[in-house]
Amino acid sequence: MIDEPAIAAYNSRLTVNLGDLAALTPARQDAVKQHGSRAEALLRNPDLALFIHQYKFEVTDVLSAITGHDPDSNARRVALANQLAGIDAFVASVQRAVYMKNRLVSQQEGPAPAPRDPLKEVYNT
């Protein structure tokens, strides 16, 4: 049975797409920024990167140790490949959260001012 914290986490998950960023309420925008900041902290954590790469190496070692070509061996290969794809999808999810935060912040800041042209200022043209 699913426990209450899991249900609460599912119900409060952040579901936003790029088209909705400008139309979000300030509270939701703050949630996107906070979520993205947490994701950015994860990506910058060298220990997390170390453990992710270590896990991928371990799965790859197990994958390379499979020498048979029977249906059971092939099923184990598929399962291990799915594990590798899952960890890659997790990292992509964290990167997507950082991207959403950065995109929202850049939209809120507006376009960058045009660079000054000192010659135009001197000659008033």
Determine the pLDDT at residue 123.
64
Average pLDDT over residues 91-117: 84
Residue 39 has pLDDT above 80, yes or no: yes
Residue 85 has pLDDT above 60, yes or no: yes
Determine the pLDDT at residue 122.
61
Residues 35, 14 contacting (CB under 8 angstroms): yes
Q: How many CB atoms lie within 10 A of CB 97?
A: 21
Average pLDDT over residues 11-21: 77
Q: What is the chain's mean pLDDT, rounded?
A: 87
Residue 63 has pLDDT above 80, yes or no: yes
Q: Which two structure tokens, joined as six digits, stand for 74?
A: 């092939």
Q: How many CB atoms lie within 10 A of CB 70?
A: 8
Identify the band that residue 113 occupies on the pLDDT scale cut at 50, 70 and 90. low
